[in-house]
Amino acid sequence: MADGPIELLSKARAGETEALGELCALYRNYLRMVVRTGLGPRLRERLELSDVVQEALVEVVRQFPQFTGQNEAALVGWLRRLVGQKLADLGRYHSRTKRAGGATALPLDAPWEGGGGENQGDYGGRLLDMLALSQTSPSEIVSRRELIVLLADALAALPDGEADVLWLYHADNLSFEVIGERMGLSRKSVRGIWARGLKRLKRSLEGPPGGSLRYDDGPAG
């Protein structure tokens, strides 16, 4: 069985470069989720999501020696704050660029948690609402991992159409009608895709066999 987050964390701190690489890979989907929500629709139009994620991973490796937490919750919080700093820098840079061109300044989009401008809302809360809808009886493994990380992995494993609909509905807070207009589909079709996506999430989050929950750190407590 592959090492879990805590084992990888310990090995990375001991100087094992490969373990740090595996740790970054383990949280890549989560970082992608944080970046996508943090960018917001305006910056998403101007930046490549994959490029920002890669830059965030470079920062994770560079700043890892400063991380002192001992569990996954602390690591997830540190990753979120690190990405938040990166996104704030990008927002300020593009605001200055737009002002220099004589156009209206680009407002910073809402961070991953808290704050938020007009019509932004709490992205994290809405995404966890999606998990709650798909997960009626969390498995033991789910209870031992950070739910938002498992949700990011489960979303990444969905077919693109289902993942997009779930994201647009729950994270971007768009209606089925608006999503249908964007995708050239009827409201009924979009709702069907949404329902199938939730069903797949439920199966994925129920754990092995066939699920996407890859790590078990042993008996709780």
Q: Are 176 and 190 contacting, i.e. CB atoms less than 8 angstroms apart?
A: yes
CB neighbour class for 102 (10 Å; exposed up to 12, middle 13-18, buried from 19): exposed
Residue type, 85: Q
Q: Would you say the pTM of this structure is higher than 0.85?
A: no
Cα–Cα distance measured from residue 145 to residue 5, given in angstroms and rounded to the nearest whole number: 9
Q: How much is the pLDDT for 211? A: 43
Cα–Cα distance measured from residue 183 to residue 56, given in angstroms and rounded to the nearest whole number: 30
Q: How much is the pLDDT for 136? A: 46
Q: Are 186 and 180 contacting, i.e. CB atoms less than 8 angstroms apart?
A: yes
Cα–Cα distance measured from residue 143 to residue 145, given in angstroms and rounded to the nearest whole number: 6
How many CB atoms are located within 10 Å of the residue 122 CB? 16
How many CB atoms are located within 10 Å of the residue 180 CB? 19
Q: Are 78 and 69 contacting, i.e. CB atoms less than 8 angstroms apart?
A: yes
For residue 213, give the nearest of 202, 83, 171, 221 by alpha carbon.
202
pLDDT tens per residue across all 221 residues of the chain: 467 899 999 999 999 999 999 999 999 999 998 888 777 666 777 788 888 999 999 999 999 999 999 899 899 999 999 988 888 888 787 666 555 444 333 333 333 333 333 333 344 446 656 656 555 454 444 445 778 888 889 899 999 999 999 988 888 888 999 999 999 999 999 999 999 998 898 888 775 544 444 434 333 33
Cα–Cα distance measured from residue 94 to residue 99, given in angstroms and rounded to the nearest whole number: 9
For residue 31, give the nearest of 205, 122, 152, 114 by alpha carbon.
152
Q: Are 107 and 95 contacting, i.e. CB atoms less than 8 angstroms apart?
A: yes
User: What are the structural domain ranges in the chain?
Assistant: 1-118, 122-211
CA distances from 204 to 7, 14, 39 (A): 24, 33, 27
CATH 1.10.1740.10 fits 1-118, yes or no: yes
Q: Domain 122-211: which topology? A: Butyryl-CoA Dehydrogenase, subunit A; domain 3 (1.20.140)
For residue 20, give the nearest of 67, 61, 54, 81 by alpha carbon.
61
Phi, psi of 31 (to 5 degrees): -60, -40
